[in-house]
Structure 1
């Protein structure tokens, strides 16, 4: 099989030693590898053992670099091949061989015959082909090997076109060196990142992502300090970054590399200096993290680049030879903005953390406001964008919000607001919270200030009113888990965008659309962002709302519908014909999760405003069987947005506890629609009632399951309520643990997290805290994996500066392995570390359920609850209009008799949309045994965890 066009080349790996337990297997193994094109070049013998080196080079001059050693040892273990009925991709392989003769290898295996498994896998490498193949097989010693035609991502393009590459396990003393991705002229790629404009939490995470991804991709990474001012000044302001230079960046707010307003860069002389400094450093790729102004300046810099270089040559500042390799400047934008005011992206870096700070402040204000029966007017940031005010209003249950895109309608809006607040007070509310955006205006474009509103409440309602301007506290603090992961993944994608950029393609901006990291046209996004302010200026408020992300307009309407009391009228009869008010039961099922109470609050208030009658079913299905059902009033759920746990009570019991009594109680209380809020147990409960419809007609009603579980393992949704709260609880605990480990020097913590058979919490928290290794049920734990982890730890601690060893964290999902428990993993790490480092365990337990729900969980809860009530109405109306047997709300049976499978559905978040999928249809994509979906979007992040921890041995 060997010829001059198909070489096997050894690059940057340690030697691989394989042991044969018998002489017969030893000789068979040597012959087997020789058939693949590896040639035996040396045999060592002794009384009991033999060893043969297998050469990976075909040239005679390369005999000094053998790669595989096959040794015969009578004490060697006899390994059994893995069953051909299992998927070998789930088993750790001893080596991966990258070859350009994969087809010939497959023909060889088929002709022997030889057991193997072949897979086609889409490639994520923009420099590689769109798809690659992999063959899994066992050698005669029963070692699992992978043969693939995937190019080596760390080798130069020239080499990957013609070379075989063997990637074996790395020993403690032989770490792979990342080979540079070369330019056509042989230069090494150099990528710089700067942060500009207002600081935003998560900017440091993006810098870390860029630096480490660039190093892994074989490039040099640079940080430009003090934003564009650093480009203009050059010298020490442009610093080459190493792997450990960004250690600790995840937990730090603001921007470590600094940001500054730079007047000089706005003028051409300043940009000339910046261009000269980049050329002198050999940098031709710039990643800019900032707002629309910063990104506009970056694109202008790119557009002027050729003329700037020409002027520098003409003035003698640089020579033609110096500028020749840098004819094009690559620009990639990352949006760092707490206002979330950039078009073409659903969220910006820093916005969610800022929302955390606002909600923490308002939650604290709410307690004192309730104590003294006061009103508070809180001003938040946002000159032209009301995202922070809107989301904070939803998350904290504020009475009113004022934003620039949607000013209050009518000239008498002050009277209407006062009348609504008085109605709330008459219902028994002791506090009033009004949130005003700093750029809020009325319909005539007149500013609405916090002082104006405070004076209004004092003068017209005689309320004891206080005013709080949060100011720059909103920008500060540790980034939340969402922002860390968003910024990290966007930083990694920015490096990939640099490597894939071309002079004829517009500068890209890294965005988040439909829960996916994507690239979009930078200047198109900047232009659309400016259109919002223009629409507001010409009083086109409808257009301004439509220019925001797809959910913005809908969420504003939902806020109004769940906040303003409308108990004197029914909106239902105005909106839909042939629809009667529904008696809606609300029940929590499964373990507590942050956001459950927020969902109940939104469902109760929206249902009452629509004219429906909501009923609380306490303590899950046992409570329903016991008749613990109570009608809910508008004020019964006041303040629930910030409450953790489950105010209704919850447990894991199923309707099968007593299906007959469950049916009886639903009929007794005339429950005509059911809202289940909970985890996988709520999903199986829906299935049980769906399957029992023939025997129990009471179950023939609209039912909706709102996923609420920290494990995020419910099918039909990308996010469940509670998972974001849990991620932040894990992140905060791991930050403290890591701090302790660093202070103790050379200490490793193995942290066990919840999640059942789903690795969501482990993967996403591992990414957020910079875990060295993550163990999840989807991959399991093997002794080989533990050996790799120990070897990696030994190398990393050996590289740490004397007296400055970093604490390191391993994340282990609770169901990752029955054998390798958290204690055993920690003991193995400690024992194999040979006193080079210590190891401890931390089992977080129920602290992961969190305390107060995170803002994202609160906002998602409100949205899912409102959409669920609308879904119930729709199903009830359709059945009422098509069924002559429908009964009225006062009858003893359900309002509808509906066997439509779609009437029992899961409310799921998919990108920026809420959709409903029947529980029956979801069975096809559900692993019932392991209680999770068969497909998960977050598994793509697992590779990034390894990459950013320098675990190239696991990629």
Structure 2
């Protein structure tokens, strides 16, 4: 779908690893676009690719505003390339079924803001539309929003395709270019190396996964490998984290080596929690032996501390004096410098689906309460956001802890809720408890207290979700974020490698024995973060002031703003 908007097609293309997309805002360029498309598909096939996916928006057009249909493309691939091509028109199945966690939370937050807008309305204030900008719920003038939407169709009609793209979300244009840059095959004749970069500026980029597995890791590796090769760089996959690096398990990665990885969960490269301090000398030696000139670390808090260790060891080990970037990937979402980590959205969906099944069981059994334990370490992100998505009766998080007075109030509130239920329509209810909410009040103890204090008004059971929370295959949102962070990270490495002038080299006291990209600038080791609608890079040194190293999380927990909504919607007025 998408008569005048290619958002669905673009995001679906990114999330599925499609080969081509056709959208109304960005028609294929040139009169010979069919020839170029067929040539690219043939290159893919010559490299060993066995399948081709083309996504067509219903409003897709060429540069002359002539419609491009799925039937046209099927005939083109069948007649020109003799491929067994099938056409699937999804239709209204795209409207979906059960909403995902992101949709539920977005709807909840917009609903709360809508009520606030009604209560604050005045005769002279324009009617608002409740929107999300920079990851924040905001109000904008409804009539202006409607007018702006209509401008896109008008721009397309007058062939102002640049203007149409600019009218979309700020990241829309960038993500389209990133999709193209990670989809083209690595034929050096068609390389994306820009004219202002010489071939001798090609980087040897190491890619390593650190910490626990998180969905989105493989999607990030795939995007990094393909974009790096299309930029003329040589990517190397490091297997099994830092122990693999120490053992020399390093292999150059080709374009087809990561084919299909976007849909794979876990970590194809392998990962663990070990740090460079396991053997800093051997880590340095292997980086020099394989001439690794820049490094991408994909992982959770362990990847952040690994960057810190290598940064602090730069004076002793010149091999660490190179650009490094950390792409946050952890279901706990506890990395400083970013609002979201890869894997967190997938984990929320896994928790939500499990809790939906649990609530169904609890409702069928009538008066039953489940205390569900979720991961997260000292971060309450998963508990708060999953509690909001599933309508939890109460949420216990490390930031607040658990005490007896709180439990007594929650049980009293629970009793009153069950007393208010209509006869025969009693609902099952869920309590969400973060694994580190309390050392004393464990999940079993909380459940036992609820059952005992309920005086047989309801039963209580526990459910510890464990590693099921890591999910199976990465959610579309995690895949899209993975591509965006990976592409921007390669650009960051280029900037901090090729940007070395003679002045900066003198300032850094360059040693001839060091790597060719020798760089001791603190900004050259950074965390790639999602801040609002932008991708930011903050040095690991600068992030120290915003990091609680003891509890392995950021000092500020932005999700605490939504804890109030959890209490409000569960009618826990005593906590507001």
Q: Same fold (TM over 0.5)?
A: yes
Deviation at 1:954, TM superposition (A): 1.1
Within the candidate set 342, 347, 350, 1:729 is matched to 350
Which residue does the alignment assign to 2:414? 793
Distance in 2 (alpha carbons) for counterparts of 1:587 and 1:565: 23
Within the candidate set 549, 558, 565, 1:937 is matched to 558
Distance in 1 (alpha carbons) for counterparts of 2:230 and 2:503: 26
Within the candidate set 903, 907, 919, 2:540 is matched to 919
- Structure 2's unaligned 5+ residue stretches are none
- Judged with a 3 Å threshold, the aligned counterparts in structure 2 of structure 1 residues 404 and 892 are, in CA distance, closer, same or farther, namely farther
Note if 1:763 corresponds to 2:384. Answer: yes
**Kept after mapping to 2: 8 A contact 1:567/1:608:** no
Which residue does the alignment assign to 2:316? 695
Q: Tell me, what secondary structure is at the counterpart of 1:536?
A: helix
**Higher-strand-fraction structure:** 1
Deviation at 1:572, TM superposition (A): 3.0
Within 5 A, what are the aligned runs for 1:420-431? 420-431=40-51
Distance in 1 (alpha carbons) for counterparts of 2:198 and 2:572: 61
Deviation at 1:688, TM superposition (A): 0.2
Q: Tell me, what secondary structure is at the counterpart of 1:718?
A: coil
Which residue does the alignment assign to 2:126? 506
Which residue does the alignment assign to 1:868? 489
Within the candidate set 224, 232, 250, 1:629 is matched to 250
Deviation at 1:895, TM superposition (A): 1.9
Within the candidate set 66, 83, 86, 1:466 is matched to 86
Comparing both chains, which one has the higher relative contact order based on Cα–Cα distances under 8 Å and sequence gaps of 6 or more?
2
**Kept after mapping to 2: 8 A contact 1:578/1:881:** no
Cα shift readout 1:67-121 (whole Å, capped 9, x = no counterpart): xxxxxxxxxxxxxxxxxxxxxxxxxxxxxxxxxxxxxxxxxxxxxxxxxxxxxxx
**Kept after mapping to 1: 8 A contact 2:181/2:192:** no
Cα shift readout 1:595-629 (whole Å, capped 9, x = no counterpart): 00000000000000000000000000000000000
Which residue does the alignment assign to 2:399? 778
Note if 1:710 corresponds to 2:326. Answer: no
Which residue does the alignment assign to 1:572? 193
Note if 1:391 corresponds to 2:14. Answer: no
Note if 1:414 corresponds to 2:25. Answer: no
Which residue does the alignment assign to 1:904? 525
Q: Tell me, what secondary structure is at the counterpart of 2:371?
A: strand
Cα shift readout 1:202-257 (whole Å, capped 9, x = no counterpart): xxxxxxxxxxxxxxxxxxxxxxxxxxxxxxxxxxxxxxxxxxxxxxxxxxxxxxxx
Distance in 2 (alpha carbons) for counterparts of 1:707 and 1:895: 27
Within 5 A, what are the aligned runs for 1:224-235? none
Which residue does the alignment assign to 1:813? 434
Compute the TM-score of the two structures, normalised by the length of structure 1: 0.59
Which residue does the alignment assign to 2:302? 681
**Kept after mapping to 2: 8 A contact 1:572/1:581:** no
**Kept after mapping to 2: 8 A contact 1:595/1:644:** yes
Cα shift readout 1:501-559 (whole Å, capped 9, x = no counterpart): 11011111111000100111110011010000000000000000000000000000000
Distance in 2 (alpha carbons) for counterparts of 1:912 and 1:633: 31
Q: Tell me, what secondary structure is at the counterpart of 1:712?
A: coil
Q: Tell me, what secondary structure is at the counterpart of 2:140?
A: strand
Which residue does the alignment assign to 1:13? none
Deviation at 1:881, TM superposition (A): 5.2
**Higher-helix-fraction structure:** 2
Note if 1:852 corresponds to 2:460. Answer: no
Distance in 1 (alpha carbons) for counterparts of 2:479 and 2:518: 33
**Kept after mapping to 2: 8 A contact 1:709/1:720:** yes
Within the candidate set 107, 114, 118, 1:487 is matched to 107
Q: Tell me, what secondary structure is at the counterpart of 1:425?
A: helix
Within the candidate set 33, 57, 65, 1:445 is matched to 65
- Structure 1's unaligned 5+ residue stretches are 1-380
Which residue does the alignment assign to 1:543? 163
Distance in 2 (alpha carbons) for counterparts of 1:476 and 1:624: 44
Distance in 1 (alpha carbons) for counterparts of 2:202 and 2:161: 34
Within the candidate set 528, 536, 545, 2:148 is matched to 528
Distance in 2 (alpha carbons) for counterparts of 1:384 and 1:892: 57
Distance in 2 (alpha carbons) for counterparts of 1:807 and 1:884: 65
Cα shift readout 1:346-377 (whole Å, capped 9, x = no counterpart): xxxxxxxxxxxxxxxxxxxxxxxxxxxxxxxx
Distance in 2 (alpha carbons) for counterparts of 1:523 and 1:675: 45
Deviation at 1:431, TM superposition (A): 0.2
Distance in 1 (alpha carbons) for counterparts of 2:503 and 2:480: 35
RMSD of aligned residue pairs (Cα, Å): 1.3
Q: Tell me, what secondary structure is at the counterpart of 1:705?
A: strand
Distance in 2 (alpha carbons) for counterparts of 1:566 and 1:749: 52
Distance in 2 (alpha carbons) for counterparts of 1:627 and 1:476: 46
Which residue does the alignment assign to 1:496? 116
Distance in 2 (alpha carbons) for counterparts of 1:759 and 1:838: 26
Distance in 2 (alpha carbons) for counterparts of 1:953 and 1:682: 40
**Kept after mapping to 2: 8 A contact 1:578/1:880:** no
Within 5 A, what are the aligned runs for 1:121-200? none
**Kept after mapping to 1: 8 A contact 2:318/2:514:** no
Cα shift readout 1:756-802 (whole Å, capped 9, x = no counterpart): 00000000000000000000000000000000110011101111111
Which residue does the alignment assign to 1:454? 74
Distance in 2 (alpha carbons) for counterparts of 1:702 and 1:857: 25
**Kept after mapping to 1: 8 A contact 2:218/2:266:** yes
**Kept after mapping to 1: 8 A contact 2:199/2:232:** no
